Homo-oligomer: A and B are copies of this chain.
Amino acid sequence: MDRYDPRDGEIVNDKTHSPDATVQFIGVIRTPYITRDMCPRQGKLDGPDCAIELLPEFVPALKGIEKYEFLDILYWLHQSRRDLLQQSPKSDGITTGTFALRSPVRPNPIGVSRVRLIRQEGAKLVVKGLDCLDKTPLIDIKPERCGYTVQAPDKVADVT
């Protein structure tokens, strides 16, 4: 997450980051992973319980969430550098493009995880399947695509 020095062969983007839009943190993710080395490479749906703690103002937006077993969680990888264009995951001088990796190091450090919803406790969702650091900022919760049925009527007359 917080790699500071490029490895052999890695390509750094030397252009300045251009801030085109702003993200608000809507809560925080609590996991058992308090250091980067503790984070698994990919979360497991039968892994440990983790918690998604929403800011109180967003609790009304959870209405109906209990219908879904699987959710997509979007979060901000707050410890990641953003300027690597090619990375060498094995530090062997062989590089892969950032967009061909799911590494946390990317121009917009946004992680997407599919989780299993275990239960809701007020502003808190207990879930399984996360692999991010404890205290990672939360940016979105969506029903997972496959289990989701569009609610809006067909287009033309509609204005969703």
Contact = CB atoms under 8 A, between A and B. Distances in A.
Interface of A: 3, 11, 13, 15, 17-26, 36-37, 39-42, 57-58, 60-65, 67-68, 72, 74, 76, 78, 85-86, 89-91, 95-103, 106-108, 110, 112, 114, 137, 139-143, 145, 148, 150-153, 155-156, 158-160
A24 B13 contact: no
Given A3-B159, A24-B17, A74-B110, A96 B63 contact: yes
- Chain copies in the assembled complex: 2
A70 B142 CA distance: 20
A100 B65 contact: yes
B100 A41 contact: no
9 contacts: A18-B24, A18-B25, A20-B23, A21-B23, A36-B159, A61-B97, A65-B99, A99-B142, A101-B142
Nearest to A7: B159
A76 B140 contact: no
A85 B97 contact: no
A-B CB proximity, top 4 nearest: A19-B22, A63-B97, A64-B100, A89-B152
Given A11-B60, A42-B150, 16 more contacts: A20-B76, A20-B137, A21-B22, A24-B107, A24-B108, A41-B152, A61-B99, A61-B107, A62-B97, A63-B100, A65-B97, A90-B153, A99-B141, A100-B143, A101-B143, A110-B139
